[in-house]
Amino acid sequence: MRLLRGVDWILLMLIICLAVLGMVTLYAAVHQGDVGLWQKQLTYWGIGFAAFMVICFVPLRLLGLISWPFYIVALLLLVLVPLVGDVQMGARRWLNLGFFNLQPSELMKWALMLILASWFATKEPRSLREIGTALLLAVVPAALIVNQPDLGTTLVLLFAATSMFIAAGLPWRWFGLAVIAAIGSLPVLWHFMHDYQKQRVLTLLDPQSDPLGAGYHVIQSTIAIGSGGLTGKGFLQGTQGRLHFLPEQHTDFIFAVLAEEGGFIAVMFLLLLYISLITRILMVSSRAHSRFASLICIGVASIFMLYITVNIGMVSGIFPVVGLPLPFISYGGSAMVTMLAALGLVMRVSIESKDRIPWQRPGSPLS
């Protein structure tokens, strides 16, 4: 019963709102093609919610215990990928396990989040040694993933790690140094980028330079968003989507369908839902009973933040085309399940923290 009392109903409400909006938008995107995808997505919601519920019952302490083994296994799998991995769409990202294709980089996102949370649970990154060790934990898998190549996941990894570093108390001057180093390394990164990645960046700078090639996606999605106007063309009335001018309209570019048919009103509604969701996660974080739990929530929030910003920025033409889905709206099973599982973690934090005093709050009896 303590379990039920600790449930964050607002968080649950937000998930349900996103589920409804996501399913409606997905219907608009697929209603002329494969409606079967819509039913599949409904199944994914079911599986994801089951994962969410299961995680709600897993004690955080247990997660702290398995964080090291989990991280090591994920790292080993990542090392295996370039040796025995499957190549799909020009990148070696998958391990064929016989019954399904595992993407170790996906595991690593969560493994890194757990390991950093447990690493910083007892210490703050204030000395070179502590920072260096934690940095190594993040940079090694990031280097392996960027080499696959998988720029999107690398970005997620680095962004989540940076957020957790900041939350854990990284001195601002170190942060400033890191930013300068990152900007300085851009030319080096450019040198190591694959041609298609370079093309995406160039396309972002001038989409019209290649209107039927790499620029096509961005031009068409920008047209879809802009033509939707303030109030939209109406449900199922978007011409860009209905007439198939929009590429990938049920996966990475689904935001354009929403913006075209629902207009700025729908866009604002979605953005407010996202802001509420992230703010809610941050609130759970600040009420959490342990530093480990707080940091987990920060990791989850930052991952969501990055997905949302990069996806919408990409679809509306201000970021390069990086294949990140729009949380809870884009079609896709594994993203749906992992994201709901992540929210399960947040819910678990909320449940465990119920009726307990946040960690090291001044005046708390434990401190």
Positions in the binding site for another protein (CB under 8 A) = 124, 163, 166-169, 220, 222-230, 239-240, 242-245, 259, 263-264, 267-268, 271, 274-275, 278-279, 282, 285-286, 291, 294, 298, 301, 305, 308-309, 312-313, 316, 318, 359-362, 367
DSSP letters, 140-192, are: HHHHHHHTTT-HHHHHHHHHHHHHHHHHHT--HHHHHHHHHHHHHTHHHHHHH
Q: What are phi and psi of 46, to 5 degrees?
A: -60, -50
Judged by beta carbon, residue 63 or residue 308, the one nearer another protein is 308
Least separation in angstroms between CB 254 and another protein: 15
Return the percent helix, strand and coil in the chain, to nearest 5. Answer: 70, 5, 25
Least separation in angstroms between CB 63 and another protein: 20
Judged by beta carbon, residue 103 or residue 240, the one nearer another protein is 240
Amino acid at 54: V
Tokens standing for residue 266: 């729908």
Least separation in angstroms between CB 72 and another protein: 28
Judged by beta carbon, residue 36 or residue 122, the one nearer another protein is 122
- Round to whole Å and give the CA distance between 181 and 172: 14
Least separation in angstroms between CB 237 and another protein: 12
- Round to whole Å and give the CA distance between 327 and 339: 7
Judged by beta carbon, residue 337 or residue 345, the one nearer another protein is 345
Judged by beta carbon, residue 37 or residue 166, the one nearer another protein is 166
Query: Is 102 strand, coil or helix?
Result: strand
Least separation in angstroms between CB 45 and another protein: 24
